[in-house]
Amino acid sequence: MQTLTTEATQLPTLTHTRNPGMALDLDWVAGVQANTSAIERRAGTIGGRRSVKKDFQAAWLLKAISLIDLTTLSGDDTEGRVKRLCAKARQPVAPWMLEKLGLPGLTTGAVCVYHEMVATAVRAVEGSNIPVAAVSTGFPAGLSPFRLRIAEIGESVRAGAQEIDIVISRRHVLTGNWQALYDEMREMRAACGDAHVKAILATGELATLRNVARASLVCMMAGADFIKTSTGKEGVNATLPVTLTMIRAIRDYQDRTGIKVGYKPAGGISKAKDALLYMALMKDELGHPWLQPDLFRFGASSLLGDIERQLEHHLTGHYSAANRHAMG
């Protein structure tokens, strides 16, 4: 694996053309296949072939921090918890560590909260460049009335969310109703206005990798800025095979349209070593632009704590207790 330089771990202000979407191309959708055994084989080899050590690992972990949508999505969220989460996003690891590692201004990529917590989060990140992402549209099931889901997006945008994570209707995928999925996504994207939209596919509920590939494509055709694996609430959340399937769909879409769409694996990613695997896969399959926060995010509530522990070990040779790195 090529190494990341310290320069590459600085938070860049990158801009690329937003995905405008395109007309629904049902022939293209119907032609999409996914070779499950080949995908699983390839996903299974990534851990064995890839490893980064010492300073290079620390550089990759710092980069990973800049890619995290630091998340709290719990029924018992309080304003206090969200404020603590935002403080952590602004200062993701202890100041002495960041000084020593040469990145004093490092922050997470975003914070991600329920609509009710958006205003609190917006106030708590004021003065930083950290965007607030809201899970809108009846998260996590997405089964509230459609007009209310659209209205919720508008409320979140008005409350200051710069990114909206929407959930798709899984039934449209499971019944092959691509037109309905496209129309729904298109309307949600329009409701987001200037806020970037991440389409959560809830891949653990889509039954097959072929469905995942087709749903990814339809959401991109409808203008998704990011496609995201999971809410974190399904039985199975982000996996490497699903990731390969989705990022290959992103590659195909770019080949055909010239447009870059972002990727967000979410749910169950809590270990630094797993984050490194995802990053290696992104770099291998899509290249360096997909290691920047405008094209790649981890949706994670506890990953940052493990990264902080690994960085502390790198600097001191000792591990501290996991409970010293609480998020909220």
Ligand X SMILES: O=C[C@H](O)COP(=O)(O)O
Q: State yes or no: is 228 an active-site residue.
A: yes
- Cα–Cα nearest to 296, from 85, 146, 22, 109: 109
Residue 7 DSSP label: G
- Per CB under 6 A, 223 contacts ligand X: no
The sign one gets for the Cα dihedral 267, 272, 274, 278 is positive
- Per CB under 6 A, 29 contacts ligand X: no
Number of residues this chain uses to bind ligand X (CB under 6 A): 12
For the bound state, the minimum distance from the C-beta of residue 200 to ligand X, rounded and expressed in Å, comes to 8
Contact with ligand X (CB under 6 A) among 183, 302, 314, 315: 302
Contact with ligand X (CB under 6 A) among 164, 300, 307, 311: 300
Neighbours of 127 (CB within 10 A): 7
Beta bridge partners of 167: 200
The sign one gets for the Cα dihedral 26, 30, 36, 42 is negative
Contact with ligand X (CB under 6 A) among 232, 262, 265, 328: 232
The C-alpha atoms of residue 261 and residue 217 are separated, in whole angstroms, by 10
- Per CB under 6 A, 266 contacts ligand X: yes
Query: Nearest residue to ligand X, using CB?
Result: 232
Part of the chain binding ligand X (CB under 6 A), chosen from 208-216, 253-261, 264-272, 309-317: 264-272
Is the separation of the CB atoms in 101 and 63 below 8 Å?
Answer: no
- Cα–Cα nearest to 327, from 147, 22, 9, 68: 68
Part of the chain binding ligand X (CB under 6 A), chosen from 33-41, 95-103, 265-273, 288-296: 265-273
- Per CB under 6 A, 299 contacts ligand X: yes
β-strand 262-264 against 226-228: which pairing, if any?
parallel
Catalytic residue among 198, 228, 260, 283: 228
Kindly list the catalytic residues: 165, 228, 264
In the complex, the residues that contact ligand X under the rule CB under 6 A are: 71, 73, 112, 231-232, 266-268, 299-302
